[in-house]
Amino acid sequence: MDFLILFLFYLALVLIGGVTICICSKAHYLKVLVKGAAQMISHMIPEYLQRAVLKLLHYLFHTRNHTFIILHLLLQGMIYAEYTWEIFGYCLELGFSLRYLLLPYLLLVINLVFFMLSCVSNPGTITKANEFLFLQAYEFNAMTFPKNMKCFTCNVRKPARSKHCSVCDRCVHRFDHHCVWVNNCIGAWNARYFLIYLLTLAASAATMATVSTMLLVQLVVLSDLYLETYVDDLGHLQVIDIVFLIQYLFLTLPRIVFMLGFVVMLSFLLGGYLCFTLYLTATNQTTNEWYRGDRAWCRHCPRVVAWPRSAEPQVSRNIHSRGLWSNLGEIFLPDTAHRAKKMN
């Protein structure tokens, strides 16, 4: 029982932590809190260890490296190995439809293709040769993307909605964010690959969670376990309840239950992030713009909105949004990519 409670506590903590970070990531007090915690820890840890940790963090998050790609493939490999080794075999024996059982493999193939594309594709790097093409893509606005700005590192004129990625050391058109998991920037030209990658990853986690749950339910039903009784610590006869069942399954099928816990957690985290990305796609915003709270001159109500985003939301439209289908088209069929191909 202790182990089950600890595991559920751990699961809840990770989920609450993830959601809190998402909600509070823009809040000033979180930065103050992190700074305060870092200062407190710095008094407790020796200086050489601090330097080593900072060096490691810098390497992991501020340089281009393959660490997270390897970790990603390792985790995915482990989950699929467990699925193939135990769940697939059990389900076949219990007469599950082969079509449902093969679905995670189909999603894996699509996911790996789009994972690779997200890793290696050009996100829309701005160079001297193509800067004119990107400068024409979006309108400038005085507040967030002023005209005639220059990136002194790349020596290019900065198009609207672009940003210099300090990790990749380049300016990227319609910069969304730098993703450590694909070791690449997400920009105008590869946002579509990233979206499908995310969609298939979330779908494969959800599919595996569903199949694993169905297997455990089927095992409980077939064994009539829920009809059994047990003697509790006080010597009383008790009917088996859901908590006892989970504990029993944990002890008899630990790998499957642990994997189920992991994929359920992944399904929630990836599902949440997918919803956020779909919201940005549907409203034609980038993560960078959302984070900065950008709202420029509203076409339909010409007034400037406070920037950074004020407590009171004043404008519901941004100047780049042209309706759902048009916004989706911008992600899946980026005009600049088409025109750049023509130029080459």
The tokens 């309108």 sit on which residue? 139
Q: Return the structure tokens found at 3.
A: 């182990």
Q: What is the end-to-end Cα distance of the chain in Å, rounded?
A: 65
Site for Zn ion contains 69 (CB under 5 A): no
- Nearest distance from C-beta of residue 22 to Zn ion, angstroms: 21
User: Which is closer to Zn ion, CB of 154 or CB of 305?
Assistant: 154
User: Which is closer to Zn ion, CB of 126 or CB of 256?
Assistant: 126
Site for Zn ion contains 171 (CB under 5 A): yes
Residue range at the interface with Zn ion (CB under 5 A); choices 39-47, 169-177, 242-250, 289-297? 169-177
Residue range at the interface with Zn ion (CB under 5 A); choices 66-74, 78-86, 183-191, 247-255? 183-191
- Nearest distance from C-beta of residue 168 to Zn ion, angstroms: 3
Residue range at the interface with Zn ion (CB under 5 A); choices 19-27, 71-79, 140-148, 158-166? 158-166
User: Which is closer to Zn ion, CB of 164 or CB of 309?
Assistant: 164
**Cα 240 from Cα 295, distance rounded (Å):** 56
Q: State yes or no: is 171 an active-site residue.
A: no
Residue 259: name the closest of 104, 102, 80, 97 by CA.
80
Asked if residue 148 lies in contact with residue 141, where contact means CB atoms within 8 angstroms, the answer is no
Among 69, 103, 151, 225, binds Zn ion (CB under 5 A): 151
**Cα 180 from Cα 65, distance rounded (Å):** 8
- Nearest distance from C-beta of residue 305 to Zn ion, angstroms: 27
Site for Zn ion contains 180 (CB under 5 A): no
Site for Zn ion contains 4 (CB under 5 A): no
Asked if residue 238 lies in contact with residue 229, where contact means CB atoms within 8 angstroms, the answer is yes
Among 178, 192, 295, 320, binds Zn ion (CB under 5 A): 178
Site for Zn ion contains 154 (CB under 5 A): yes
- The DSSP symbol for 189 reads T
The CA radius of gyration of the chain, in Å to the nearest whole number, is: 25
Asked if residue 161 lies in contact with residue 289, where contact means CB atoms within 8 angstroms, the answer is yes
**Cα 198 from Cα 114, distance rounded (Å):** 9
Residue 216: name the closest of 260, 267, 251 by CA.
260
- Nearest distance from C-beta of residue 270 to Zn ion, angstroms: 21
User: Which is closer to Zn ion, CB of 108 or CB of 171?
Assistant: 171
Residues binding Zn ion: number (CB under 5 A): 10
Among 30, 112, 117, 168, binds Zn ion (CB under 5 A): 168
**Cα 117 from Cα 22, distance rounded (Å):** 26
Between strands 150-151 and 156-157, the pairing is antiparallel
127 Ramachandran zone, left/alpha/beta (phi>0; psi -120 to 50): beta
User: Which is closer to Zn ion, CB of 117 or CB of 151?
Assistant: 151
Among 108, 165, 205, 259, binds Zn ion (CB under 5 A): 165
Contacts of residue 270, Cβ cutoff 8 Å, sequence gap at least 6:
198, 201, 202, 205
| Catalytic choice (154, 165, 171, 179) | 179
Task: Please report, as residue ranges, which positions from 305 to 334 form the binding site for Zn ion (by CB under 5 A).
Answer: none
User: Which is closer to Zn ion, CB of 174 or CB of 295?
Assistant: 174
Binding site for Zn ion (CB under 5 A): 151, 153-154, 164-165, 167-168, 171, 178, 185
Active site residues: 179
